Amino acid sequence: MAKPPASLSGQDVGSFAYLTIKDRAPQILTKAIDTLHRHKSEFFEKYGEAGVEAEKKAISLLSKLRNELQTDKPIIPLVEKCVDTDMWNQYLEHHQSLLKESDETPRWFYSPWLLVECYMYRRIHEAVIQSPPIDDFDVFKESKTQSFFESQESVIALCTYLQELVRTIEDLDENQLKNEFFKLLQISLWGNKCDLSLSAGEASSQKTNVLNSLQDLKPFILVNDMEHLWSLLSNCKKSEKTSIRVAIVLDNSGFELVTDFILADFLLSSKLANEIHFYGKSIPWFVSDTTVRDFNWLIDQVKCSNHKWMSKCGVDWENDVKMGRWVYHDHIFWTLPHEYCVMSQVAPDLYAELQKAHLILFKGDLNYRKLTGDRKWGFSIPFHEALNGFHPAPLCSIRTLKAELQVGLQPGQAEQLMASDPTWLTTGKYGIFQYDGPL
């Protein structure tokens, strides 16, 4: 296999990677600092003076981090001992060794974008855990909560739709069931537009009912492998397998997570699957990504809603978790900077776990960047090739485009898009269902 191309990086002045490091990353740090400031009295009430001291310490560590980033300082090792610290530091050393000949050290604008962006979120976490007693504070929680509440109307519309669908699901013929499956897949795709890291932590929610827009959004699906997903799962169902397991590698909490829950509920109700395994982050990540707290919080919120059908969804989902039909997992690998092609060596237990799935859905842009190694691939090289040996089970990326990276397009497709919309790669306006597995 040919050597994969170079990584996307902030070295390319004017690129999306460059602009993210230059503009968006410092804004995210500033927002985290503000959030800590605003919680000062809450910390005082909870922990007294120690809480205020901790808030000051976390803020000073984050300000130092922002300064390192803005002045393109060398990337320094992590200091606070955690389960993943050695793996992080080994990875940083490895990068250092690759640069030996040029006498460079890894730096913010010089190193791979994926590495420095993950490193920033890991350093934010370090600043918080170095500041007890506020060491389990999630600096992004407030934004995640706000974006969920702002999407209330859409959430109600989706929950109502789902409850009606589930009630009549036994009466649907094959074709109708397939259409519903496609609808809910698209809802889960467009749910990925709502991400807080792209909007630098500013509110990014779903205010309109996405169900009404699906038809209009169809032309924006650049790769559409939904038929393969249907064939795969409906064949599993026909073969009467005792267990059909679908894994969902989660992305954002809030509205996107609701759309993933709706899809998961449908998969069980339609018997296209009977176990859903969710994979989330073990620390706050890329502003809006789902942690176990967000996962449980959301189910709770939905359950406690005053709206009859929304609340029914929450009760059902809580029950799915209790009965083990829905299983939540986290693993440190998801918040390491590694590309997924090394998962079988770096996290063999996780790889073995994913191999048990009949289908793995990878939600969101960051997962796509890690699947393809965040490299400067040509637009028409096959997805299978960009996965660079990562094939634990049949898989599909469900992602709106938010990085200058896309593979598997038809010859000429990228050029046409570029001509009609030069920002097509980075605004989340376009989406893909890109499948890799037996056809």
Q: How far is the CB of 2 from Mg ion (least distance, A)?
A: 30
Q: Considering only CA atoms, which of 66, 230, 35 is closest in space to residue 144?
A: 35
Any residues with CB less than 8 A from the CB of 154 and at least 6 apart, and which? Answer: 206, 207, 208, 209, 210, 255
Task: Specify the residue, 8 or 273, whose C-beta has the smaller distance to ligand F6P.
Answer: 8
* Contact range with ligand F6P by CB under 6 A, out of 91-99, 135-143, 194-202, 379-387: 194-202
Q: Which of 195, 275, 316, 436 binds ligand F6P (CB under 6 A)?
A: 195
Q: Which of 111, 151, 252, 372 binds Mg ion (CB under 5 A)?
A: 252
d(CA 352, CA 416): 41
Task: Specify the residue, 178 or 369, whose C-beta has the smaller distance to ligand F6P.
Answer: 369
Any residues with CB less than 8 A from the CB of 316 and at least 6 apart, and which? Answer: 265
Residues 241-260 within binding reach of ligand F6P (CB under 6 A) = 251-252
Which partner in Mg ion, ligand F6P, none is near 20 (CB below 5 to 8 A by kind)? ligand F6P
- Interface with ligand F6P includes 358 (CB under 6 A)? no
Task: Specify the residue, 24 or 325, whose C-beta has the smaller distance to ligand F6P.
Answer: 24
Residues 282-341 within binding reach of ligand F6P (CB under 6 A) = 286
* Contact range with ligand F6P by CB under 6 A, out of 156-164, 291-299, 330-338, 362-370: 362-370
Which partner in ligand F6P, Mg ion, none is near 402 (CB below 5 to 8 A by kind)? ligand F6P
d(CA 98, CA 24): 28
Range 37-55 burial, b when 16+ CB lie within 10 A, else e: eebeeebeeebeeebebbb
Task: Specify the residue, 87 or 198, whose C-beta has the smaller distance to ligand F6P.
Answer: 198
d(CA 112, CA 403): 13
d(CA 107, CA 71): 10
Q: Which of 119, 255, 286, 333 binds Mg ion (CB under 5 A)?
A: 286
* Contact range with ligand F6P by CB under 6 A, out of 127-135, 189-197, 213-221, 225-233: 189-197
3-state secondary structure of 278: strand
* Residues near ligand F6P (CB under 6 A), total: 16
Which partner in Mg ion, ligand F6P, none is near 370 (CB below 5 to 8 A by kind)? none
Q: Which of 122, 144, 358, 402 binds ligand F6P (CB under 6 A)?
A: 402
Query: Helices 255-269 and 292-303 meet at what angle, rounded to 10?
Result: 70
* Eight-state DSSP code of residue 162: H
* Contact range with Mg ion by CB under 5 A, out of 224-232, 284-292, 348-356, 373-381: 284-292
DSSP string, 190-244: HHTT--TTTTTTS-----S-GGGGHHHHGGGEEEE-HHHHHHHHHHHHHTT-S--
* Eight-state DSSP code of residue 325: S
Could you tell me the end-to-end alpha-carbon distance of the chain, in angstroms, rounded to an integer? 22
Which partner in Mg ion, ligand F6P, none is near 141 (CB below 5 to 8 A by kind)? none
Q: Which of 20, 160, 290, 434 binds ligand F6P (CB under 6 A)?
A: 20
Task: Specify the residue, 131 or 426, whose C-beta has the smaller distance to ligand F6P.
Answer: 426
Task: Specify the residue, 131 or 192, whose C-beta has the smaller distance to Mg ion.
Answer: 192
Q: What is the side-by-side strand order in the sheet with 395-400?
A: 221-224, 431-436, 395-400, 359-363, 245-249, 275-280, 326-330
Q: CA torsion 155→156→159→161, rounded to 10°?
A: -110
Binding residues for ligand F6P (CB under 6 A): 20, 24, 117, 192, 195, 197-198, 251-252, 286, 364-366, 369, 402-403
Binding residues for Mg ion (CB under 5 A): 195, 251-252, 286, 289
